[in-house]
Each structure stands twice: as structure tokens, then as C-alpha cells.
Amino acid sequence: MSEFQYKDIDPEGWQTLEAIAEADRFNEWMYKTIRPFCNGRILEIGSGIGNISKYFVDAGADITLSDIRPVYCEVLKKNFPGKDIVQLDLVHPSFETEYAQYIGTYDSAFALNVVEHIEKDSLAIRNCFKLLKSNGHLVILVPAYPALYNRFDRELEHFRRYTRKQLNGLLATENFTIKHSQYFNFMGIPGWYVSGKLQKNKTIPKSQMSFYNKLVPIFKLVDKCVFNRVGLSVISVGVKK
């Protein structure tokens, strides 16, 4: 049994993924932000229902999709026929045996909003390291700033939020050399605070996500104006040496 205990049915997570699925501008923004660091044979860790996966697939990327939940893997098989879909547990107690065929296989891997769900985050990053080839790239995006932790985080079963220094330190401890690091989505901060802290919503309302999606072109400019030094999420890219 995995050291990472998860619910087979994740209603809050599913509702959140469905709300974000309709935010095409936001998803494309995230995709274009990480795409320069994802080349060669790619592994997406925690694909969910494929909100970001579809951009890689449409671009013809050599990508393997994965998730820990069987229900999401079934959705991925339906939405992306012919693609390699793996039920992947990053903290499986027999990781190297269970996933022997994938060890040292990938040129790049990315995990968006995944690591914060795992209590033993250092073990998760260590196992990501094992999946990569030498000089392989790992892209991690997680929620930023512990002070922003609210009901959204609790309902989504987040163990923590990170600063850029903390995320870089996590990767460096597991023998990654930091290639790039930035914050992402500055204007998401007030929305997250109001909806999760003040309104005490359990999940992101579709109406709010739809409204936010319309304003993404403006929010992208805001991120440039603040030089990606503040944001609702933090992204770090590590290289396996």
C-alpha cells in the first residue's frame, strides 16, 4: 500500500478540474509557460482529466499521461486513445520495482498542482529524479505562500503551500540543479483569498473561473509588470545532473 493515502472518489477535486477545464485561456497560459522546458519524451504526472494534456497531444508531443486515481486514468484513456496512460503513485513503497520500465526513461517530466497533495514531498521529488534521463528536466508547479492557505486548500487536501525558496530548496535537496524559477498568476491571489477565505467556498465556482478566464489576457500583462516575482503559484525547473 502507498504511503500516500487518497480518496478513490474525489468530488472536490473533480469539480475543480471541471471548472478549470472550461478556462481555455488560463490552461493555454499555463501550458505556454511550462512548454519551453518540456522536450523529448515527456511524462505528465497527475494529468487529472487532461486539462493541460490536450495541448501537448495537439502539438504532437511524445507524452505519457498519468494519474494516481484509476477513475482519472479511465477518463484519460477515453479522451486520448492510443496514448500511454500510467496509473502512477509517486510515493509507492516499491517504486523502482513497480515502475521499473519507466526508470531513466524521460527527457522531461512535469507535475502541476500535484506535490502539495503529498505529505512526503521529498520522496515524491526523489522518485521523479529516478524517472528522468541524465540532464532531464523536471517542472513543478505548486500553490504559493503558506499565508494563503484556506478552505480551498483543506478541501483539496493540500498539505502545504510553498515559497519559491522552499520549492527550489526541495528540488536542490534531491540533487536537481535549478534552471528556472518564477511565480505565476499574480491576479489569482485576491480571487483565491476572497472566494476561499471570505466566501468560504469549498471549490472554485464555475462562474468565477469563467469570469477570470475572460480576463486572462490582462492578467498575463500584470504578471509581466511584476516580473513574475509574486503569484498564486510558484514554478521551478530542475535539471538532473
> Any idea where the domains of the chain sit in the sequence?
11-240
Taking the model in full, what pTM does it have?
A: 0.92
Q: What CATH homologous superfamily does 11-240 map to? A: Vaccinia Virus protein VP39 (3.40.50.150)
Helix (H, G, I), strand (E, B) or coil at 109: strand
CA distance 51 to 113: 12
Sign of CA dihedral 85, 7, 19, 43: negative
Between helices 121-131 and 164-173, what is the axis angle to 10°? 60
What does the pLDDT profile of the chain (241 residues) look like in tens digits? Answer: 344 455 555 666 667 788 788 899 999 999 999 999 999 999 999 999 999 999 999 999 999 999 999 999 999 999 999 999 999 999 999 999 999 999 999 999 999 999 999 999 999 999 999 999 999 999 999 999 999 998 889 888 999 999 999 999 999 999 999 999 999 999 999 988 887 776 676 667 788 889 999 999 999 999 999 999 999 999 999 999 9
Counting other chains too, the contacts that 91-98 makes at CB distance below 8 Å and 24 or more residues apart are 91/2, 91/3, 91/4, 91/118, 91/120, 91/123, 91/124, 91/127, 92/2, 92/127, 93/1, 93/2, 93/3, 95/127, 95/130, 96/130
